[in-house]
Structure 1
Amino acid sequence: MRPLDVSQGLAARQAALAILSDVLRKRRPLEAVLAHCDGLEVRDAGFARAIASQTLRHFGQLDALIRDFVPKTPQPHKAGPTLEILLMGAAELLFLDVAPHATVDAANKLAQSDVRALHFKPLINAVLRRVAREGRGIVAGQDAPRCNTPDWLWARWVAAYGEETTRAIAATHAAVPPLDIVWKTAPADALFATVQRLPQQRVENIAGFAEGAFWVQDAAATMPVHLLGDVDGRRVIDLCAAPGGKTAQLAASGAIVTAVDRDGARLTRLAENLGRLQLRAEMLEGDVRDVQLAPAPFVLLDAPCTATGTIRRHPELPWIKSASDITSVAGASAELLDSAAALTAADGLLVFSVCSLEPEEGPEQIESFLAQHPEFVRAPLNPEDVFGHAEFIDPQGDLRTLPCHLAEQGGMDGFYAARLRRRS
């Protein structure tokens, strides 16, 4: 790993500390708190994001290490951001290759900026110096996949996929994923003919961005649209459409798209992105459950979910979600699926997808739906539907990608999708 420029300084670390405090204490998504980087130089903003994301990506390991060094961890109401300062300092030393003197000096300055943490400055100094001396050896001996996966998620995944696959899934979460971009005019005869994988970088700097030649979308996220088949010149209702990768796919394939989303701000950004891509779609703001549209031959519902299939891109998720979130989201998703069914024309296709690894949000949702809607039948997938990757098809004939699939090529998000046909 290339060492980071140690001249990157206090402002970046202050932003990273604010981000981590919001994520870990308020359970806010990482992307929602990146505004703490506003106003920073590009280099400093990148450093702040790197500190925050690596701390979260390796949170279980770092937390175990710090608690081993400090058996009586200071309570936040007494110590302020002391624990976050220790965690991010350890992340710098162990996973970002920052020089020890730079990390320790910056951590001391962060402690000085909070009256509660100031009292623990000697502790911070001593612990981080010990991390610099002993940390790498300890981390090398940790069971990283298990450490970095909370008990509640680990147990669920072992029950659903077995321990070997669970370990493979968790192992992929430790690596920074590639940047997947979809070329607007690429042939769709192979997964990586359409999707190009690049190292993480500023999207705006990639040649062709301003001209609308591509959009950003994980390889797995492109697959539900392919399950619809040929949509050229056909009506497609795209439900819960934002942020719009699937809308762009449909429009680029020649579909007559109606994109529905209840979040007006996200729908506006979707429209702006389609404008950059020089693609067209009708925009409709509203709750899917209240939408009044004529039934269409193709309906796509990318339902809201806990997004546990995207942890490699959103490393905070294991630490801000809980099992209760799955229950509440699954209930809302069932209502959306009922509404999507009403918008599907006779002999039409309905594709339901979620970026979750949880059975309640995917296959169990579909089994319940089919039991209550005899007018729909499953239209099982074949390898040609998934670019020849038969391993992406589950025993019921549905799509199930896992983060450990195509690991040698950088992995992919965990997606579930079912293709259903309405009887004539």
Structure 2
Amino acid sequence: MSHTPSPRLVALDGLSQIIGEGRMLSDVTSDTIWQALSPAERATAQRLITETLRYLGRADHILTPNLQRQPPLRVMNLLRMATIELMTGGAAHGVVNEAVKIAGRNKKTAPMKGLVNAVLRKMTQIGDEDWAKAPDTKLPGWLRPRLAKAWSKAAVARFERAHAVPPPLDLSVKSDAAGWAAKLNADVLPTGSLRLAARGQVSSLPGYDTGDWWVQDAAAALPVKLLGDVTGKRILDICAAPGGKTMQLAAAGADVTALDISESRMARLSENLERTQLKANTVVADALDYSGGRFDAVLLDAPCTATGTIRRHPDLPYVKNQTGLDSLVSLQREMLVRTKDHLEPNGLLVYCTCSLLREEGEDQIKWLLSASDDFEVLPPSAPGLDPDWISAEGGVRLRPDYWPETGGMDGFYMALLRFKGGTPPS
């Protein structure tokens, strides 16, 4: 007789696949075993994974003195997950008993039931103050030195502090930000996005079914605003799915063409447009092959390492590495150059990436300007744009340690350029 696995067991399996095999959380949660859980149980399992990844550094710090040697990965992950659950409000009796039971279900881990029980009993004695003082989870070895060189070791420590804080929920609204802020008990951020005071089931919030808003980090909402008034303008949104920026443009009155290479992601974009009752032309194609005429503006949200989104996706450090970075940089350059074929003379280009790496941001604009006379950087302007965010070459650099008092933001880079015409760089 089969029985439904517990959320903790499913979470442990998923956690071990992320840390041990480098699988993405989104892939893990699509496995068949997750479908056997109720929606509430799936939410619990996913929360257990994300919190364990977010606080893994703290957990290891307080676990290590209580271990003669590090046990096999699955047992270590079980201890980490249970410790973090204990430290974040879990009932001691239930958490410890369930962990011991899970250890006993597996032939390889069953001999370590006693270890799991003994160590977790000690964890129940750890005070809140000790937990709060434990060090934050460090960024991976391939990434930390690069960021320290670019921004300083102190800045990287602030990034890690920001990554240890569960991110708030940001929304972009079609209109009446103040009105929706009141209905949703949200704050209106300086850039115009809404930030909710408390997270919950997104689809149950007022305005979801009627399509009056969509989830979009405040940093990701800023690139569109660099274009200013887009009413009536023809705009090409490259790498558009899942559609946050497309919906922004459409809601602002632009004639948008949304382009993405992924058919499944474009289907999601279409669903989002339908829910929000917004219109855009959707095209599934490779941006390097697309020939759809010229536009008043192009928004290129280029493929990147996504290192700026670790605060929302703590699995990324275990999935991504520096392998492929050079290929991504080359692709970004190809796509940047290709935009000249889509722009009217004097047309505007916004280049952006959700990356903390200069190679994918500031350095790309420097390269473009040195390799070609076709573009010039324009001074960025947008509601709430802090002058301190403007970088030396004229772009905008956002970091997770900005707005620390209100919950931070994703790491992002963006630049506004004008197309002057001419020949592409070789």
Whether the TM-score (by the shorter chain) exceeds 0.5 is yes
Structure 2 equivalent of residue 5 of structure 1:
none
Count of equivalent residues:
407
**Structure 2 match to 1:315:** 314
Whether contact under 8 Å (1:259, 1:281) holds in the other structure is yes
SS in 1 for 2:166: coil
Aligned partner letter, 2:377? R
CA distance in 2 between partners of 1:120 and 1:194 (Å)? 49
Using structure 2 for the length normalisation, give the TM-score.
0.90
SS class of match (2:313): coil
Cα separation, partners in 2 of 1:404 and 1:126, compared to 1, 3 Å: same
| Deviation (angstroms), 1:213 | 0.7
Cα distance in structure 2, aligned partners of 1:196 and 1:295: 36
Deviation (angstroms), 1:136: 5.1
Cα contact 1:177–1:200 (8 A) shared by 2: no
State the TM-score, normalizing by the size of structure 1: 0.90
Contact 2:170 2:193 in 1 (8 A): no
Change (3 A) 1:90 1:373: same
Secondary structure at 2:170 match in 1 = strand
Question: Quick one: distance in 2 between partners of 1:325 and 1:58?
Answer: 27
Q: Which residue of 2 aligns with 1:101?
A: 93
**1:174 aligned to 160, 164, 170, which one?**
164
Whole-Å separation in 2 of the counterparts to 1:62 and 1:294: 54
How much does 1:410 deviate? 1.3
Structure 1 gaps of 5+ residues are: 1-8
Greater Cα offset, 347-356 or 36-45 = 36-45
Q: Aligned residue for 2:104?
A: 112
Q: CA deviation at 1:86?
A: 1.3
Cα distance between partner residues in 1 of 2:353 and 2:28: 24
Match of 2:183 in 1: none
Give the structure 2 partner of residue 3 of structure 1. none
Q: Which whole-Å CA distance do the structure 1 matches of 2:177 and 2:204 have between them?
A: 24
Do the aligned partners of residues 137 and 234 (structure 1) sit closer, same or farther apart at CA in structure 2, a change above 3 Å counting? closer
Query: What's the offset of the Cα at 1:309?
Result: 1.0
2:27 is the counterpart of 1:32: yes
Aligned position for 1:398? 395
Asked if structure 1 preserves the Cα contact closer than 8 Å seen for 2:61 and 2:134, the reply is: no
Residue type matched to 2:12 in 1?
Answer: L
Gap runs ≥5 in structure 2: 179-187, 422-426
Q: 2:177, 2:384 → 1: CA distance?
A: 12
Asked whether 1:42 is paired with 2:43, we answer no
List aligned pairs for 1:124-143, cutoff 5 A: 124-134=116-126, 138-143=130-135
CA distance in 2, matches of 1:230, 1:113: 61
Q: What's the % identity of the aligned pairs? A: 37
Aligned twin of 1:153: 143
Q: Evaluate the alpha carbon distance shift between residue 47 and residue 372 of structure 1 in structure 2; reply closer, same or farther with a 3 A threshold.
A: same
Distance 1:187 1:205, change over 3 A: closer
CA distance in structure 2 between the aligned counterparts of 1:71 and 1:230, rounded to whole angstroms: 63
Larger fraction in helix: 1
**Match in the other structure for 1:413:** 410
Residue pair 2:62, 2:134 contacting (<8 A) in 1 also? no
Partner of 1:376: 375
| Cα RMSD (Å) | 2.1
1:255 aligns to what? Answer: 254
Q: Give, as a single letter, the amino acid of the residue that structure 2 aligns with 1:117.
A: T
CA 408–376 in structure 1, closer or farther in 2 if over 3 Å, else same: same
> Structure 1 pair 190/298, CA: closer, same or farther in 2 (3 Å)?
farther
User: How far is 1:338 from its partner?
Assistant: 2.1
**Which residue number corresponds to residue 57 of structure 2?**
60
What's the CA shift string for 1:246-304, capped at 9, x where partnerless? Answer: 00000101111110001101100100110110000011001111111112110000011
3-state SS, counterpart of residue 49 of structure 2:
helix
1:64 Cα deviation (Å)?
3.8
Equivalences for residues 5-404 of structure 1 within 5 A: 11-35=6-30, 36-76=33-73, 81-94=74-87, 96-134=88-126, 138-144=130-136, 147-186=137-176, 191=190, 193-381=192-380, 384-404=381-401
